[in-house]
Amino acid sequence: MTNILDDGQRTLAARVALTQQIERGSVVLSSRLAGAFLNVPRHLFVPVFYRRDGDRFIPWSSTDGHAEAWLDAVYADDSLITEVDGVHAEDAAPEGLTGVPTSSSTAPSLMADMLDALDVHEGHDVFEAGTGTGYNAAALCFLAGDKHVTTVDRTASLTARARPRLYAVGFDPLVIHGDGARDFPADATYDRIIATASVCRVPPAWLARLRPGGIMVVPIKGTLAGGMVARLTKLPDGSAAGYVLHTPAAFMPLRSGSETPAQVSVVPEGPCGDGELSARVLDDWTFSFFAQLHLPPDVVRTYGTSADGLHVTTLYDPSDGSTTRIADMPQGPPTVTSTGPRDLWRPIAAAHRLWEQLNRPRREWFTIEATPDAQEVRYAAPGGAVHRWAL
């Protein structure tokens, strides 16, 4: 029986179908960007990925049976989880594992939206932070030329896999095992910078390495869902300014330096008050983007259900130990319990009131500016008032 991956017509048809699916969405593909999705085979970069089975992640490859279904999944407009708690799908036991996803292949429509915003042309020097599978790097090679692409990932196993797969499809970019926020070839500068992992604010080195007139596309996200993707253009004075794309994005965080995740402290039982709204509002990506602007970037959110099956969220700020728990009640308003110097729910409740007063502004109505010293998101209301939030 012929291996499905040896059927060039079948895999080409899958790429055509994916490209058509992207175009039916919110992205109008240029002919060159459409060419990237038509010519770069995703299945070669994601030969094994995880599928969910309850609370477990099970590795799935074309040789595990149901090859047609596997190929359809690869070329669906979905993100594909490739790593869980540092265990790559290609290294996982057949029975899979439980844990938290730590790397994935981005949904192609989001890739297309970001690549369209990046506006890459032949000969542009491009830096990518977050090689991952190498699929996005391959698209960049198609658009700019492989000798103009540098891609960096902190995980050695990812760069080791991506490098030969890029070469196998005819591309030989510079692939670096390193820190995407700070590891660059000496004295290199770029026309385009793109990140496939989120940051709380634009790393200063990216701003410094971007040439005047250059563009960077960067996912910015804190602890809440519904992060934003910023498109910034480097200005002659060394700052960068731009806007937020319409597409919500929840990229995994870029691992940089030696940081360790903060552990949420336990909120002791004690006096509590009534809250004006449930913390479930943070699960609404249209609001959580706005809410994040009112929180320090290091605040950690955890959430789940109580023994009664009711929603409970805990917010923790490691900078001063402030911890706030918001718990839904069977009847009446939620309860808010805080320890430490600050009530972390108060600014979120105030943000929700402001969001409603501003008629729920969409993320693409916000602009962003970054200088070597400060970064700021702005919203200009129709009446002329300008609202500002520091990142």
Phi and psi at residue 22, in whole multiples of 5°? Answer: -60, -45
**Cα–Cα distance for residue pair 120/20, rounded to 1 Å:** 21
- Cα radius of gyration (the chain): 22
- pLDDT (tens digit per residue) in 220-232: 998 887 789 999 9
Supply the pLDDT for residue 14.
94
- pLDDT (tens digit per residue) in 186-198: 999 999 999 999 9
* 288 tagged catalytic: no
**Cα–Cα distance for residue pair 2/5, rounded to 1 Å:** 8
Supply the pLDDT for residue 250.
81
Supply the pLDDT for residue 261.
55
DSSP collapsed to 3 states, the chain: CCCHHHCHHHHHHHHHHHHHHHHHCCCCCCHHHHHHHHHCCHHHCCCEEEEEECCEEEEEEHHHCCHHHHHHHHCCCCCEEEEECCEEHHHCCCCCECCCEEEEECCHHHHHHHHHHHCCCCCCCEEEECCCCCHHHHHHHHHHCHHHEEEEECCHHHHHHHHHHHHHCCCCCEEEECCCCCCCCCCCCEEEEEECCEECCCCHHHHHHEEEEEEEEEEECCCCCCEEEEEEEECCCCCEEEEECCCCECCCECCCCCCCCCCCCCCCCCCCEECCCCHHHHHCHHHHHHHHCCCCCCCEEEEEECCCCCEEEEEEECCCCEEEEEECCCCCCCEEEEECCCCCCHHHHHHHHHHHHCCCCCHHHCEEEECCCCEEEEEECCCCCEEEEEC
For tokens 């004295």, what's the residue? 187
- pLDDT 10s per residue in the chain (391 long)? 346 666 788 999 999 999 999 988 877 899 999 999 999 999 999 999 999 999 999 999 988 878 899 999 999 999 999 999 999 999 999 999 999 998 999 999 999 999 999 999 999 999 999 999 999 999 999 999 999 999 999 999 999 999 999 999 999 999 999 999 999 999 999 999 999 999 999 999 999 999 999 999 999 998 887 789 999 999 999 999 999 999 888 888 887 665 555 566 666 565 578 888 999 999 998 999 999 999 987 899 989 888 888 999 999 999 898 899 999 998 889 999 988 888 999 999 999 999 999 999 999 999 999 999 999 999 999 989 999 999 9
Q: Pick the catalytic residue: 103, 104, 109, 288?
A: 104
At CA 245, angle to CA 152 and CA 280, rounded to 5? 100
At CA 96, angle to CA 94 and CA 99, rounded to 5? 165
Phi and psi at residue 331, in whole multiples of 5°? Answer: -140, 145
The answer to whether the beta carbons of residues 320 and 340 sit under 8 Å apart is: yes
Q: Which CATH architecture has domain 4-88+103-197?
A: 3-Layer(aba) Sandwich (3.40)
For tokens 């080409």, what's the residue? 12
Supply the pLDDT for residue 262.
57
Q: Which residues are CB-contacts of 221 (< 8 A; sequence separation ≥ 6)?
A: 198, 199, 200, 227, 228, 249, 250, 251, 253, 292
Supply the pLDDT for residue 31.
94
Phi and psi at residue 227, in whole multiples of 5°? Answer: -65, 175
**Cα–Cα distance for residue pair 216/180, rounded to 1 Å:** 14
Compute how many other C-beta atoms are within 10 angstroms of the C-beta atom of residue 34. 18
- pLDDT (tens digit per residue) in 263-322: 666 665 655 788 889 999 999 989 999 999 999 878 999 898 888 889 999 999 998 988
